[in-house]
Amino acid sequence: MNTAPPESWAADQALARRCVLGDEKAWSELIRRFGRRIFSHCRLAGLKAGDAEDVCQEVLVSAFRSMASFRGCSLSTWLYRLTRRRLADYYRSPQRRLISVGEPLSPTMPAPAEDPVAKLSAAEDAGKIHRAIETLNEPLKGILIAYYLYETPIREIARESGIPINTIKSHLHRGRKHLRGRLEVQP
């Protein structure tokens, strides 16, 4: 087994070093590369657009403050972990706001038809999917989110996680099967 970090990790380490040194172009590159992914993850976690922007900004501020501690993984993995922590904080917060039925659930998902029943149905479906994903154990949950949310190719997931490609494919298959079963059971 190859224990050397992938080439992309070296590029991520270089970008992180530039960010730590205060290179504004490096921060712009980091935001350009990962900002939309963070925002999309927040939207798929059920946040309204404004709340998703707030959490996304909190993740980026947290990354700015703790960039010197970044080591040993890809930036996308590290930022994903920061995002999950911020989302957990958000949902624990007593001031949290729930998703509006009138908004699309992600920047890539079109808004439901103006029919109120269609809007309610789309929001309920997103909630069911979110709850079903939360029932998955790691690494299934992380692999499904990386593949479908972040659109990370299977080879990159395998490289970043150190899990063989065929095992990633197997996890994707099992994860989809589990989600299908959970969604058929949910009322």
The CATH code of the domain that includes 186 is 1.10.10.10
Mean pLDDT of the chain: 76
DSSP string, the chain: ---SPPHHHHHHHHHHHHHHTT-HHHHHHHHHHHHHHHHHHHHHTT--HHHHHHHHHHHHHHHHHHGGG--SS-HHHHHHHHHHHHHHHHHH-TT--PPPTTS-SSTTSPPPPS-HHHHHHHHHHHHHHHHHHHTPPTTHHHHHIIIIIS---HHHHHHHHT--HHHHHHHHHHHHHHHHHHHHH--
Q: Predicted confidence band at 113 (pLDDT cuts at 50, 70, 90)?
A: very low
Residues 13 and 88 in one domain: yes
pLDDT of residue 114: 52
pLDDT top residue among 4 and 144:
144
Q: Predicted confidence band at 187 (pLDDT cuts at 50, 70, 90)?
A: low
Question: Is 56 contained in some domain?
Answer: yes
The CATH code of the domain that includes 22 is 1.10.1740.10
Q: What is the pLDDT of residues 149-179, one digit of tens each?
A: 767 788 888 877 778 999 999 999 998 888 8
Task: Compute the radius of gyration of the chain from its Cα atoms.
Answer: 18
Quick count: other Cβ atoms within 10 Å of Cβ 33?
14
Asked if the model's pLDDT at residue 2 lies above 50, the reply is no
The pTM of this model reads 0.51
pLDDT of residue 110: 46
As given in the structure block, the two tokens for residue 149 are: 């949310």
Asked if the model's pLDDT at residue 25 lies above 80, the reply is yes
Q: What is the pLDDT of residues 36-73, one digit of tens each?
A: 889 888 877 777 888 889 999 999 989 988 888 877 67
Question: Is 105 contained in some domain?
Answer: no
Burial code (b: 16+ CB inside 10 Å, e: under 16) for 142-160 equals bbbbbbebbebebebbbbb
Question: Is 138 contained in some domain?
Answer: yes
> Which structural domain range is residue 170 located in?
110-187
pLDDT of residue 59: 92
Final residue of a structural domain among 65, 98, 131: 98
Question: Is 37 contained in some domain?
Answer: yes
